[in-house]
Structure 1
Amino acid sequence: MQTKTFSILPVIFAIAAGALVPSAASFAAGHHASKAASPKKAVASAAAANALPPLAAQTTLAGSPPALPAKAWLLMDFDSGEVLASANADEPLPPASLTKMMTSYLVEQALRSGKLKQADLVSVSQNAWCRGSSTESCMYLPLNSQATVIDILRGIIIQSGNDASKAIAEHMAGSEEGFAKLMNAEAQRLGMTHSHFMNPTGLPDPNHKSSARDLAILARAIIRDSADYYPIYAEREFKYHGIKQGNRNALLYTDPTVDGLKTGHTEEAGYCLVTSSKRNGMRLITVILNTSSPQARADQTRAMLGWGFSTFEKATPFQPDAVVGTAKVAFGKADTVAAGLAAPWTLTVPRGQQVQTAVEIKPDLEAPVAKGAVIGKVVATSNGKPVGEAPLVAQAEVERAGLMLRAWQHLAKLFGK
């Protein structure tokens, strides 16, 4: 068994701030051309040669976002799920190790539901075993060994282990193919309409695709649904079987507001990064797909975050206890019921712009109406563009009227009174 130690990676990340040496980059999801480090000039030259022309925003809610040399990119507000700016957001592209966000998400949800326990042992088959090649990222699980689910999860998230991903796939679904079915079912449930997964690792397959929008949707689900496990995405290193490896997300070492999520790289996918950052109560999610180098994906993510946090701010159109509208109720003991927000509602809007709201109440509302039942929605716009909406719920119960009162109400309605 190979016993390399990678403890130097955090130092490299912290100093380089994204300008990672090739030996670190070579531990991405798939295959790489070189196994050894190259001189810095050669790396810079190769990155420049592979760089795409700047891709301008195709959608934006404000201002002029930076044009980024990548095949696709996206900036999303976490709270609302609103896309603040994007380019080629729905183009299916190879996601490389960003795939492992779906793998880790399924593990996390199985832990939440009790289908898995943190101390459960996962076996390492011949298929899952990583043979120590520097052309793929590995947790370096020994062949025919066992590891706990929580260690496997860390190996997937921090070390981007293909072996860890395959082992948990076989443990949960019997095979990689069986696990891919679970991945696709979950993608459909989350509304990831431009994704199709063939394996749990992101290793190249012509039918294995995802989009910038879909990956942002997935990142948002991880942050929202995996509170107990999301802190793992911010961990800078993990040591297993005597081998310490650093997280390849360079921003974790240079930006204290960044707390996830995942890097990816194959020759076909280029360098990819999904990141989340929270500043002053606002959380933004970024996706960059197929850019030219580790430094490029870090720099472009910084540019998106800098633009996003300087361009947008939080707004609260209504307080949770405010009455937003009044709904008419037919055939009830009361003719109307107050409509209000079910939960606190905040929006991310362009700085300095006013927020307008429009209340939409369900027509032909009839009793009985339960307290808390959804009876409409409020839509917010800024500068003529929608920036979010929230459901409106009944603030009180409206019981159904008795037979005589209902008959009178029918007659009044018939005669237009």
Structure 2
Amino acid sequence: MSTPPSGPALPSRRPAETRQNEPDFCGLFHAAPAPYLVVTSQLIIAAVNDAYLRATMTERDAIIGQHIFEVFPDNPHDPQAHSTANLSASFERVLKHRVPDAMAIQKYDIRLRDSDDFEERYWSPVNTPVFDAEGQLTHILHRVEDVTPFMADRSRLAAAEMHNDEQAIEIRLANSRLREAKVELEQERDLRELFVLTLTHDLRTPLAAAKFASQLLFRKGSDPAEAQRLSARIAASLDRCDRMIGDLLDANQLRSGKKLSIEVEPLELTDLVEDVLAELSTLFGDRFVLRAPVPISGLWSRMQLRRMVENLCINAVKYGTAGRPVSVSVREQNETVALEVHNEGPAIPAEDQARLFEPYHRRAAHQNGSEQGWGLGLTVVNGIAEAHGGKAAVISNTDEGTTFRVTLPLRPPAEA
């Protein structure tokens, strides 16, 4: 092994002084704390320092003059071992390109002294070419660092990496949920803005009608018949406002996850439906067809069932084909009663059907159409059904039109 050339001699020093102060490179090599091994260009071990002997559990006399891969073979008990191939490739790169080669961390197991067993080790090697005075590459300085302590607990590292991966997945999912929540909040904001506009429109109409009728009543109050007619119109307009506000309050209650409170009493459902249809006929004409073969009695809330029937029928008139009949059927089956309201007209898209009973939801086709509404009627219908222990559903297709079906037990559960 050659030593690096010394710098130019200082004029004030004599050659004898320079030799006297020159370091003992052989002593430095053996005393170096890092493990070093020197091999010839034929990969024969030429020198080794004490740190390397300690790290590899070998003795100097036993390895000097030996081929490096005879002294340090692959672990025969590890079918995945390819340490010698990797180190040989690094030596070949040094010999070919004549520059140092830093290797990635290598698993290179070391044979135990006086045994055929191997100890698992991990190393960080650097191989450096050594040249003689003529520039010929004569040796390779093989320096290693034992990094086994950092790699020993592979299961811990793998678990940490898996945990990090899981956390990364959770973060991505959380970000995705946040984006979805942002979209939903923006959609809800838009719906609420639409709701405020529609609220203004819907409440203004009956209030204006009541105001106009009251003005007429003030001028024509001397005519008993006219006074009665105008008073009835005022009452009807105010009743409509009251229903709207009731729907709004109930929808907000349902949106918060609470059930509607009901007070049940013995009722004959067919009579109740007939009364509601008679009242609606004064507004919409003779469009309702009732199919109720037999009287059906049960325990229900009179006020809430009236609202339910009104909302279903008004919805059928609003979104069904103009001028076509609206069929209402009531029938008993297996301790339950089924109320169905059917209208002809375009089918409700499947994506809308899934959300029809949500508050403030209106069909996409009617978002910007002429039909006005809060999107609360069907929410209230479903809430009334659930308060009685029942459920509401919709069936809609192009061939048969749309049917809303409410199924109620004859007697609601005790908690209802």
TM over 0.5: no
If you compute each CA radius of gyration, which structure gives the higher value, 1 or 2? Answer: 2
TM range, normalised to the smaller chain? under 0.3
Higher fraction of helix: 2
What is the TM-score with the length of structure 2 in the denominator?
Answer: 0.20
